[in-house]
Amino acid sequence: MLWGALIAVLLAAVAAIAQIYRDPAYTPEIRRRTFRVLGYFTLYLAAGIAGLIALPLERLTGPGLVFLVLAIFAWVGLGSVWILRTTPSKRPPPQWLLKPWTWVDWLVIGTIIVGAGGTLWSIFANAPAV
């Protein structure tokens, strides 16, 4: 199952890159900016994955898992909002989304804080006594 998901992600990435190269509207400068932003997003996601690997997830309870999923979705969502702002597009996003550090950013950051806090509370509330 894990290999299937990885293969699907890789195939989607190859299809997206092929589409960028086939489309004549993407100039070399736009391609370069797009790939730079996608590279930063990949590093951003890798930092989130590294944070997950560092957690002792075997102590996670049911409510803690809900908080963890909430934090993961918010983490990816924050990166996606910044991709929308920084990647060139044929159809730009709405003006309210283009402005940095608006209510959207703070809502997602607050969701990350609540999700991460709930996850850590669940993990460390169930920690064995030392």
Judged by DSSP in three states, 1 sits in coil
| Confidence (pTM) | 0.81
pLDDT for 40: 93
The pLDDT tens digits for 41-96 are 989 999 998 998 898 888 888 889 999 999 999 999 999 999 989 887 878 888 88
Write b or e for each residue in 27-60: b if 16 or more Cβ atoms lie within 10 A of its Cβ, otherwise e.
eeebeeebeebbeebeebeeebeeeeeeeeeeeb
pLDDT for 67: 95
Q: Kindly report the CA angle at 90 between 98 and 10, in degrees rounded to 5?
A: 95
pLDDT for 130: 65
Which residue type is seen at 29?
Answer: E
